[in-house]
Structure 1
C-alpha cells in the first residue's frame, strides 16, 4: 500500500509539470485520492488503487441515475403541473384552444385543483399554437388574468393588470417560431412554447351571473387565419365535476415531462435543463423507453421527490417563507420573498420554486405584489401553533383580531394535505369568511374560526368541517388588503388546539 502511494505521488508530480522528486503533502495526497474501501450512504465502495471494482460501479451509477431523476422531478414541477392541468381539462372536453373551462357555480371540492379558491370565477384555456398558429384572444372588460407557458413561467398579464387596463381588447399570441408579419390593432404576446395557459378571473362583486355572462358573451379565441369567419368559443362548466389536474408522484410523472419535451421547441429550456433530462432518457426527437432498472430508479426518484417537496412545504429552510419570522408563527407565503421568478442575485431558488409549484398554480407578479386596497394577498398555515400537523379529529380555533384590514372581504379555506386541493367534507364550500351566511363577530370586532369534525355548540356559522384520520391546511385570503396587513401591525392569531 505504501509503495502504491509513493508511485502515485510520482505520477501526480509528473502530471502537474513538476520534477518527479517534488514532494506532495500527505494531506494533499489524501484529498485527491480514495481509499481501497469507503463506507457511504449507498453502501461499501471498493477500489484497486482508485479503480472501482466489484459491484461499486453498479452502485454509483444507480445512485447517479437516482439523483438525476430526483433533480429532474423537483426542477420540472412547473411543467408537470401545467401538463396535468391541460390533460385534466382535455379529459372533460376542453381539448382545443377555443374551449375554456369555467366555474359557473364556483370551484367545488370534487374538482382536484391546486389550492383553488371558492370566492372568484375561474375561466381557463390552453392555447395550442403548434396546431392553430397565431391565435386571437378577444378579452372581455373587467378581467384579471395572465398567460403562463408550458413550463409554467410567466409570459404576460391580461385585463386590469395587463395592456388593456381592464377595458378588454384583442390580443394576438404568436408561436415561438413565427416569422410572418404582425398585423396592427392587437396587444401582441410572444411566447417560448407552443402550449400556453390563459388564466382568467372574473369579479363577482356585482353577482356571479353577470360575471358569467360577461365571459361567455365576450370571450372569443380563434386562429388569426380564421379571423374573417371565426369558430365559436365553447365553455365547459366544471363546478362540482370530479376530475384531476394534479401531477402524479410516480414514474408516470416522467412520461408527462417527456410529452412536454417532445411537443415543445428545443429552445424552450436551456442546455443545462435539457442535459439533466437527457441523462435520464428524455431527449427531444427520441423515444423515452427506460429499461426495468431505470424505470424502477425513476419511480423511486418520484417517491423521494414527493417526500422532499412535502418537507420543503411543511418545514421550509429557506428565507422569506415565514410571514412573521421574528416569532414562532406558522403562517407562510407561497412565494418566498414574494418573488415570482424564484431567482435571487442571479441564482435560481430551487426550493422556492418547488415550494410554489408543488402547492399552487399561476405565476404572475400580480399574485405576489400587494397594493393597498386592491387585489388579494394570502397567508398559509400548514401546522398548528405548536408546529404540529393539523389533525382532522381534533378541534382548533383561529382568532382574527378586531378590524380585519380588508377593503373587500376575507376568507379562510380548507385544503387536503395529500392533494393540496379543496378538502372534501360535508360542506359544499370548505370556506368561511366575512361574506359567509351566519358568521358571528365577537363584541370587540374580532372573529373566531373553528375547525373540527362537528360544529362546536353555538358556533355553526364560524365552523369549518374537518375529517377524522386526515390532516388539513388552510389559506387566509385577504381581498383588498389594507395597510395594517401589509405592514404587519395587524396579524392573525395562530391555529390553537382546543381539544
Structure 2
C-alpha cells in the first residue's frame, strides 16, 4: 500500500538560478594551462586538445608520484645486473662495507650489505636459507613488504629455510619452510649478518626443485664497482615502469593504481609507445613529479614529518607505518617521500622499539632554515649519551642523487670508530666543510664546494630517551 506525502515548498526561482551557477562552467575559464572556452558548458574545439594535454600532464605527474617505489626497484635490478648480479643464485655483498663509489639511495657506510633479486617466474618456488644472527628483508617489486628473515623474522635469528611462491601458485607447499606467496615474480633480497661477510656467505638461494641437491651460490663483492641503482627523473622513468608492468601479472597492482598508469598508456599486455605529443608531456610530468618529490623529502609540509615542533629534523617513515597508513588512509605524500630517497620496507625500520631495530633522522637545512652548502663550514653537536644500545652514526648524502656524498670514500662518522673526540660535557661536535677545521680532523666529514648535502643520524638499538624526546639532536650551525 502506497502512502502519499505532501511535497515541500522546494526552491524559489532565484534559489534555483543560484544552484545552477554553482554547478555550471563559465564560457571562459582561466587555468594554469591557458584559457579554456566553452559554449554553454560544451568545450569549444580550440580548447579540447588543451584540456586533454592538461589531463595527460596531471595523470603523468600522479603516475610518477605513485610509481616511484616500482621504478626504484627496476633501477636497483638494472644497476645490480651491470656488476654481475644477473641471476638469483648470484649474491652481491659489500666488503668491508658500503662506500660512496656507486649510486644507491641513502645506504650507510657502517654495515656490510648483501643483496639478490629473486625471479619466481623463471625459477618457480624458491628457497632462501638465511644465515644465523642476521637481519634480512624480502620486498616485492612494487616495494611492498613480504617478510623479515633472521632476528626480526620467524626464525628469531636461529637461521631458517624460507620458501617463496610466485603469485597465484597452486602447487605443492612442503613442510619444513616458512612459506610466503609474493604478489610479484621479482623480489628484492636485502641481507645483513652480524657475523659480517663470512656469516653472509652462509646464505643459500636455490629453486625448490633442487632442494635435495642445491646449486652453489656465487658471491660477488660489489663494494668498489661503479654502478647506478637510482631511477630516472625524465621520460625514461615511464619506460622503467613499462618494463615492470609487462613483467608482472595484472594482479600485482590494485585497480586504482593500475588505472592511473593505464591512463597514460602503461598497461599490461600492450606496448608502451606514446606519440611525440604524449612523450613530451610525460617528460614534463616526470620532471615536475621529481620536483614535487624533492619538496616532500627536503621541505615537507606535513607536521607529522618532523620529530619535534620547530626543529628541522625529519622522519623517513612518517607516522611509523611501513604501509604508510594514517587513520585508515594511504598517506600518499609519505610514501613518495620515503621511496624517493630511501630503500627497504620492513616494520622493523618503520616502527622501532626501545633497544631493537634502528631509528633515523635527517635534515637538509641549518639552524636558520637555509639549504646546506658544501662551500661553507658547519657544526653539529651530538649531545652526551646518545640513546643507542649498539652504536650511532652520521652519514652525508648528495641532495641530487640521494646517494652517499662523493667527497670521500666513507663520508661518515660513527661511534664504532672510537676516534671521535668528545667535549668535557660528554657531547661530540661534528664538523662539515671542504677542509678540516684546525684540530678537528677526527670529527670532520668533508663536503664539496658548490654542492648541497644532507646528513642522516642513525641510532642502532634506539633507547627510551629517543622515544620520549628527552634526548634530541640539535640543529646544524653555520660557522661565520
Q: Same fold (TM over 0.5)?
A: yes
Q: Could you tell me how far apart the structure 2 residues matched to 1:395 and 1:321 are?
A: 27
Q: Could you tell me how far apart the structure 1 residues matched to 2:439 and 2:385 are?
A: 23
| Matched residue, 1:452 | 433
1:28-107 alignment, distance < 5 Å: 28-107=19-98
Kindly provide the CA deviation profile for residues 75-111 of structure 1, in whole angstroms up to 9, marking residues without a partner as x.
0110110111011101211011111110012111011
Secondary structure, aligned partner of 2:338 = helix
Secondary structure, aligned partner of 1:352 = helix
Q: Could you tell me how far apart the structure 2 residues matched to 1:215 and 1:407 are?
A: 23
| Matched residue, 2:205 | 221
| Matched residue, 2:478 | 497
The question of 1:323 aligning with 2:307 is answered yes
Offset at 1:437? Answer: 5.2
Secondary structure, aligned partner of 2:80 = helix
| Matched residue, 1:393 | 375
Q: Could you tell me how far apart the structure 2 residues matched to 1:145 and 1:55 are?
A: 57
Offset at 1:198? Answer: 1.2
The question of 1:409 aligning with 2:391 is answered yes
The question of 1:467 aligning with 2:452 is answered no
Secondary structure, aligned partner of 2:51 = helix
| Matched residue, 1:198 | 189
Q: Could you tell me how far apart the structure 2 residues matched to 1:229 and 1:436 are?
A: 43
| Equivalent position to 1:123, from 114, 124, 143 | 114
Offset at 1:54? Answer: 4.1
What number of residue pairs does the alignment pair up? Answer: 472
Q: Could you tell me how far apart the structure 1 residues matched to 2:367 and 2:453 are?
A: 14
Secondary structure, aligned partner of 1:403 = coil
Q: Could you tell me how far apart the structure 2 residues matched to 1:23 and 1:359 are?
A: 55
Alpha carbons 1:144, 1:201 under 8 Å: kept: yes
1:322-361 alignment, distance < 5 Å: 322-325=306-309, 328-361=310-343
Q: Could you tell me how far apart the structure 1 residues matched to 2:77 and 2:110 are?
A: 23
Unpaired runs of 5+ in structure 1?
Answer: 1-17, 204-209
CA RMSD of superposed structures (Å): 1.6
Alpha carbons 1:319, 1:337 under 8 Å: kept: no
| Equivalent position to 1:211, from 186, 191, 196 | 196
Secondary structure, aligned partner of 1:253 = helix
Secondary structure, aligned partner of 1:306 = helix
Alpha carbons 2:128, 2:163 under 8 Å: kept: yes
Alpha carbons 1:370, 1:486 under 8 Å: kept: no
| Matched residue, 1:172 | 163
Alpha carbons 1:408, 1:479 under 8 Å: kept: yes
The question of 1:272 aligning with 2:253 is answered no
| Matched residue, 2:292 | 308
Secondary structure, aligned partner of 2:304 = coil
Unpaired runs of 5+ in structure 2?
Answer: 1-8
TM-score, length of structure 1 as denominator length: 0.92
Q: Could you tell me how far apart the structure 2 residues matched to 1:403 and 1:272 are?
A: 48
| Matched residue, 2:6 | none
Offset at 1:307? Answer: 0.3
Secondary structure, aligned partner of 1:408 = strand
Kindly provide the CA deviation profile for residues 19-42 of structure 1, in whole angstroms up to 9, marking residues without a partner as x.
9x9766232121122222122211
Q: Could you tell me how far apart the structure 2 residues matched to 1:58 and 1:65 are?
A: 10
